[in-house]
Amino acid sequence: MLTEASAAASITERTAALIDEVVRPNAAAMARGEGIRPDALVRAAGERGLAGLLLPTRYGGAGATHVEFAAFVEAVARVCASSAVILDVHLSVGSEPLLLFGSESQLQRHLPRIASGEATAAFALTEPGSGSDAAALSSHADADDEGYRLTGTKAFITNCGAAGVYLVTARTGPGVRGVSAFIVDAESPGVQCGEPLHKMGLAGSWTGELVLDGVRVRTEDRLGREGMGFRVAMAALDSGRVGISAQAVGLAQGCLDDIVRASRAGERGTDDALLADLEARTSAARLLTAHAARLADLHEPMTTAASIAKLYASDTCVAAAIAAVDLCAPDSVRDDHPAAIRLRDAKASQIYEGTNQVQRMVIARALLRA
């Protein structure tokens, strides 16, 4: 529940409080795969009025802009990328599709719980046999007199096992137009979550397999019309790429912090040219992310802008992480060194929310269609 002190503070002040009181004290443990649970982190954000950042105030949200959302994710990622991706998924792909495509009844039923932090949100699109090709999913929703039964397996789902509500895509017919989206309560019979994966990076973020074994879903829990699922997924990914771009900017800024800190302490010599290039690239990535976020706020087409931001910001954060390990060596060979942690965390930003190879396809096709 939002505290009285948090309600009176600005989003920037609330963000700083969350980072100082929750994110930073847990950052080292999160990097080891320990620390605060994802749902506890979301509740902590809810206590500070941040768990419904993009949701309207009438549903208990903060009514913030996408520009403010991007600044929030960047600030958290600068300190802890695991915490940033947990919150990003909850705030964007886990809840925005509900806002965009949900009925008023669905909004009233789910958004207040998400905005308060009572329920953590997750987005279940990827499957063992369909990653970049989202339309190739095989999970299916079989219609009957009472609604649907969902059967299939989702893979690499962020917040899996901690979420209270999952937005799930499943096949109701052939082809792209045969994909539908559903709202699935985590307590529904037949919902099973595997153990969190042991990953190279982002160890504090729970990523796992979601198994749907004949899960009963009512017709009123379908999100949008039957056959709209691919459209729901693509809209979710556009917004999600703004969040991942912001996470990548925060990681890159954290790497710059590491390099500058080591140089000022006289521990290492400074490569002025490399440091300047990293600052320029990080600043450019921040501006590209803000541009995509503004387009989202203006309800203008943003697919290409989001892909450009995601491509450039994630490539920048990986380059910055490699440079930080180089310039902070030999201390950075320790697995608990901040630069080493950021290097492990950075790579994922080039993969999820659409690989960078896919982003290049999106950008090139937009140019050829123009």
DSSP H or E stretch at residue 237: helix 229-264
| Distance (Å) of CA 94 to CA 115, 183, 232 | 11, 10, 11
Q: List CB contacts of 330: < 8 A, sequence separation 6 or more.
A: none
Comparing C-alpha atoms, which of 288, 356, 345 is closest to residue 322?
345
Side chain identity at 343, as an amino acid letter?
Answer: L
β-bridge pairing 165-171 and 179-185: antiparallel
Mark 136-151 as b/e (b = at least 16 C-beta within 10 Å): ebebbbeeeeebbbbb
Q: List CB contacts of 66: < 8 A, sequence separation 6 or more.
A: 54, 239, 242, 293, 294, 296, 297
Task: Look up residue 170 and give its two tokens.
Answer: 């499943």
**The one catalytic residue among 47, 68, 127, 353:** 353
Q: Is 104 a catalytic residue?
A: no
Task: Look up residue 251 and give its two tokens.
Answer: 């990681």
C-alpha 38/C-alpha 50 separation (Å) is 14
Comparing C-alpha atoms, which of 208, 210, 207 is closest to residue 169?
210
- 92, 296 contact by CB (below 8 A): no
Query: What phi and psi, each to the nearest 5 degrees, are found at residue 50?
Result: -120, -5
C-alpha 59/C-alpha 137 separation (Å) is 32
Catalytic residues: 353
